[in-house]
């Protein structure tokens, strides 16, 4: 009825690891920093689960922890927990911004986060001088434009690389930290500061489109006036005309 002592220790270690990872995920939920902050915990948990699953032992029944912990009951909590963490990690696609051995952030991610922090500092810096007119963000737009454009270009570049890298079996998204950071910056830039591109060029567009739309009218009018209308030459059929048939068809008209 009770577990083996080794299996019990493995289970306790797993429980502690899960609690730590859950706490980390919860703390770093908004703004999303979980790939950066929790990858250590996740790796640790993976290792613990692995040691449970692998603990088959040297063909001795008493060391079969996998069976006794994982599959002994209907609920299978350990398996459920492990699956939950795996799925969340996959959905976040943290593998995208970590290095291959999952021991730290990759170079491109570091670069991105660096630029991100620069943008935020730039925003703060320029906002501090906004005591007079709190809704006028032209200063921010002007000064931080370069940084923001660099950030945006880097993000698009990362997205393109990701799409090329794997099409089948690979998520189309970047890792959630990067995506969320970009989303926040974009919302600030476009919604709060309203620094988006202005709608320019209205007059030439209207001119060109009216010209193109006017051409068919000219075409149809000129063909109506100049073309010879297609006429059909009637052929008279060779038939017997009898008054009986005239009467028959005539009756239908009356």
Partner 1 sequence: QLTPSSFLRIGQLSNVDLNEDIHELETELPRQRPNEIPHNEKLLSLKYESLDYDNSENQLFLEEERRINHAAFRTVEIKRWVICAMIGILTGLVACFIDIVVENLAGLKYRVVKDNIDKFTAKGGLSFSLLLWATLNASVVMVGSVIVAFIEPVAAGSGIPQIKCYLNGVKIPHVVRLKTLVIKVCGVILSVVGGLAVGKEGPMIHSGSVIAAGISQGRSTSLKRDFKIFEYFRRDTEKRDFVSAGAAAGVSAAFGAPVGGVLFSLEEGASFWNQFLTWRIFFASMISTFTLNSVLSVYHGNAWDLSSPGLINFGRFDSEKMGYTIQEIPIFIFMGVVGGILGALFNALNYWLTMFRIRYIHRPCLQVVEAMLVAAVTATVGFVMIYCSRDCQPIQGSSVAYPLQLFCADGEYNSMATAFFNTPEKSVVNLFHDPPGSYNPMTLGMFTLMYFFLACWTYGLTVSAGVFIPSLLIGAAWGRLFGISLSYLTKGSIWADPGKYALMGAAAQLGGIVRMTLSLTVIMMEATGNVTYGFPIMLVLMTAKIVGDYFVEGLYDMHIQLQSVPFLHWEAPVTSHSLTAREVMSTPVTCLRRIERVGTVVDILSDTSSNHNGFPVVESNPDTTQVAGLRGLILRSQLIVLLKHKVFVERANLNLVQRRLKLKDFRDAYPRFPPIQSIHVSQDERECMIDLSEFMNPSPYTVPQEASLPRVFKLFRALGLRHLVVVDNRNEVVGMVTRKDLARYRLGKEGLEELSLAQT
The site for partner 1 (CB under 8 A) is made up of 152, 168, 172, 182-183, 186, 189-191, 196-201, 204-205, 207-209, 212-213, 215-216, 219-220, 223-224, 227, 229-250, 252-253
- How far is 250 from 254, CA to CA, in rounded Å? 7
Nearer to partner 1, 62 or 183 (CB): 183
Neighbours of 34 (CB within 10 A): 24
Q: Which is nearer to partner 1, 75 or 215 (CB)?
A: 215
Q: Which is nearer to partner 1, 75 or 235 (CB)?
A: 235
**Which residue in this structure is represented by tokens 């730290």?**
104
Instruction: Report in angstroms how near the CB of residue 118 gets to partner 1 at its nearest.
Output: 17
Q: How far apart are CA 246 and CA 250, in angstroms?
A: 6
Using the minimum distance from each CB to partner 1, give the nearer residue, 75 or 247: 247
If you compute the radius of gyration of the chain from its CA atoms, what whole number of angstroms results?
A: 37
Least Å distance, CB 110 to partner 1, is: 22
DSSP-derived 3-state class of residue 167: coil
| CA atoms of 23 and 199, how far apart (whole Å) | 47
**Contact between residue 34 and residue 92 where contact means Cβ atoms under 8 Å apart:** yes
Q: Rounded to an integer, what distance in angstroms lies between the CA atom of residue 66 and that of residue 209?
A: 72
Minimum distance of partner 1 from residue 189's CB (angstroms): 7
Nearer to partner 1, 52 or 188 (CB): 188
Q: How far is the CB of 178 from partner 1 (least distance, A)?
A: 13
Q: How far is the CB of 242 from partner 1 (least distance, A)?
A: 6
């Amino acid at each position: 009825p009770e577990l083996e002592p080794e299996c019990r220790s493995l289970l306790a270690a797993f429980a502690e690891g899960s609690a730590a990872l859950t706490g980390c995920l919860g703390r770093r939920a908004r703004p999303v920093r979980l790939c950066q902050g929790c990858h250590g915990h996740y790796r640790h948990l993976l290792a613990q689960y692995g040691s449970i699953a692998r603990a088959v032992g040297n063909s001795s029944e008493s060391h079969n922890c996998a069976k006794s912990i994982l599959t002994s009951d209907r609920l299978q909590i350990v398996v459920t927990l492990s699956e939950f963490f795996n799925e969340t990690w996959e959905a976040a696609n943290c593998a995208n911004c970590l290095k291959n051995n999952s021991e730290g952030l990759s170079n491109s991610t570091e670069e991105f986060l660096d630029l991100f922090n620069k943008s935020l500092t730039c925003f703060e810096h320029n906002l501090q001088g906004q005591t007079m007119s709190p809704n006028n963000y032209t200063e921010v737009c002007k000064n931080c434009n370069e940084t923001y454009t660099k950030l945006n270009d880097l993000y698009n570049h990362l997205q393109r690389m990701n799409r090329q890298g794997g099409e089948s079996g690979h998520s189309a998204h970047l890792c959630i930290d990067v995506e969320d950071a970009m989303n926040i910056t974009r919302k600030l830039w476009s919604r709060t500061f309203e620094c988006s591109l202005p709608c320019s060029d209205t007059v030439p567009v209207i001119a060109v489109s009216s010209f193109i739309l006017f051409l068919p009218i000219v075409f149809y009018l000129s063909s109506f006036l100049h073309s010879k209308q297609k006429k059909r030459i009637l052929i008279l059929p060779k038939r017997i005309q009898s008054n009986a048939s005239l009467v028959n068809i005539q009756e239908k008209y009356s």
